[in-house]
């Protein structure tokens, strides 16, 4: 089945899941929607995020005929995944969940750091996940207001230098607020990146918290779950009938998306285009 897999996020963050999706699904067409005109979701209310998610999904289904959907945003997953599955019961939908469960299994000191947007950490879904792991680890949860937006701005050539400095300052501030990192008793030895945007600055963050601290994101589990759902539905594209395509759309600044695609995904500008402004 040649229909594309739809992927969306409030901006560029969800692009961090594309390498894992491409590796797990080498023959599939991927269509990414960056809702950059409304980024970041993590600092908006649930009702707003739900309306945006439903509008984007409706467009991807009706106009682009997607055969599956990846909600590549922790905030949108927490606020909207139930509504999306209720509205599109026949559409395989995969959401993101901060990697708290793997972190609880991997930690050796028993202390796990979690960096996420305010929208994610305040959501009922996240709080239920946290409660379900009570006693398995000591989770130090740190909301990171402004970080996703700063990373978004770092993709724009005009604001890149200044935004990179803001990103570094925020990473230092939030990591310091969480306490000591390391492998000694009482230190945080595992750090969950609870926002897809944060994956793009993982190298900088790793330098701050130390090389011995394990950083976890959700790209690979999401890719594997997407593959399982397609296999179950009988719609997995298992052989190449022409090259698999990756198209990136944005309703924000096209140059910013092109810069991100080149900088982090090594994709040329021809993979990027402006999205339908009416959505």
Over residues 258-272, the pLDDT tens digits come to 988 998 899 999 999
Are 62 and 41 part of one and the same domain? yes
Q: Does residue 279 sit within a domain?
A: no
Are 127 and 199 part of one and the same domain? yes
In this structure, the strands spanning 93-95 and 68-71 are: parallel
Beta strands in the chain, from DSSP E residues, in sequence order: 5-9, 30-34, 68-71, 93-95, 111-116, 138-143, 190-193, 214-216, 246-250, 272-274
216, 237, 252: which is the final residue of a domain? 216
Are 207 and 223 part of one and the same domain? no
State the pLDDT at residue 228.
97
Are 104 and 209 part of one and the same domain? yes
The pLDDT of 66-88, averaged and rounded, is 96
Determine phi and psi for 192, rounding to 5 degrees.
Answer: -90, 125
Q: How far apart are CA 211 and CA 200, in angstroms?
A: 17
Q: Does residue 29 sit within a domain?
A: yes
Residue 253 pLDDT class (50, 70, 90 cuts) = confident
The pLDDT of 32-55, averaged and rounded, is 94
Are 174 and 235 part of one and the same domain? no
Are 164 and 75 part of one and the same domain? no
Is 195 designated active site? yes
Are 182 and 238 part of one and the same domain? no
Per-residue model confidence as pLDDT tens digits over 182-239: 999 999 999 999 999 999 999 999 999 999 999 999 999 999 999 999 999 999 998 7
174, 193, 216: which is the final residue of a domain? 216
Q: How far apart are CA 91 and CA 247, in angstroms?
A: 20
Per-residue model confidence as pLDDT tens digits over 135-153: 999 999 999 999 999 998 8
Side-chain-side CA neighbours of 215 within 13 Å: the count stands at 22
Q: Does residue 162 sit within a domain?
A: yes
For 33-37, 101-105, 234-238, 274-278, which range has the lowest pLDDT when averaged over its residues? 274-278
Q: Which of 144, 195, 215, 272 is catalytic?
A: 195
Are 81 and 147 part of one and the same domain? no
- Answer yes or no: are the C-beta atoms of 71 and 78 closer than 8 Å: no
Are 111 and 203 part of one and the same domain? yes
For residue 108, the tally of other CB atoms under 10 A from its CB is 11
State the pLDDT at residue 240.
65
State the pLDDT at residue 156.
79
SS3 sequence of 182-229: CCCCCCECEEEECCHHHHHHHHHHHHHHCCCCEEECCHHHHHHHHHHH
Does residue 165 surpass a pLDDT of 90?
yes
- Answer yes or no: are the C-beta atoms of 86 and 80 closer than 8 Å: no
The pLDDT of 80-90, averaged and rounded, is 97
Are 207 and 147 part of one and the same domain? yes
State the pLDDT at residue 183.
97
Average pLDDT of the chain to the nearest whole number: 94
Does residue 131 surpass a pLDDT of 90?
yes
| % the chain with pLDDT above 70 | 99
| % the chain with pLDDT above 90 | 86
Check which CATH number belongs to the domain holding 44 and give it. Answer: 3.40.50.1860
Are 182 and 151 part of one and the same domain? yes
Which domain, by its residues, includes 227? 5-96+219-274
Are 202 and 268 part of one and the same domain? no
Domain count, the chain: 2
Residue 103 pLDDT class (50, 70, 90 cuts) = very high
Q: Which of 73, 144, 215, 272 is catalytic?
A: 73
């Amino acid at each position: 089945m040649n229909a594309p897999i739809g992927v969306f996020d409030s901006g560029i963050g969800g692009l961090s899941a594309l390498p894992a999706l491409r590796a797990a699904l080498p023959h599939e067409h991927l269509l990414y929607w960056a809702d950059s005109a409304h980024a970041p979701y993590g600092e908006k209310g649930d009702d707003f995020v739900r309306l945006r998610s439903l509008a984007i999904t409706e467009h991807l289904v009706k106009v682009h005929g997607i055969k599956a959907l990846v909600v590549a945003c922790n905030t949108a997953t927490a606020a909207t995944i139930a509504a999306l599955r209720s509205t599109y019961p026949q559409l395989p939908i995969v959401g993101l969940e901060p990697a708290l469960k793997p972190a609880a299994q991997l930690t050796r000191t028993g202390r796990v750091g979690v960096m996420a947007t305010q929208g994610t950490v305040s959501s009922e879904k996240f709080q239920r996940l946290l409660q379900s792991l009570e006693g398995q680890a000591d989770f130090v949860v740190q909301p990171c207001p402004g970080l996703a937006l700063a990373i978004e701005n770092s993709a724009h050539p005009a604001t890149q230098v200044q935004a990179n400095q803001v990103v570094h300052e925020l990473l230092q501030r939030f990591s310091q607020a969480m306490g000591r990192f390391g492998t000694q008793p009482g230190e945080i030895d595992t750090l969950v990146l609870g926002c897809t945007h944060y994956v793009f600055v993982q190298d900088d963050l790793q330098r701050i918290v130390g090389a011995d601290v394990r950083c976890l994101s959700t790209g690979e589990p999401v890719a594997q779950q997407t593959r399982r759902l397609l296999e179950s539905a009988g719609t997995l594209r298992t052989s190449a009938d022409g090259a698999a395509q990756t198209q990136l759309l944005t309703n924000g600044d096209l140059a910013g998306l092109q810069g991100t695609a080149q900088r982090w995904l090594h994709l040329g500008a021809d993979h990027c285009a402006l999205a339908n402004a009416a959505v």
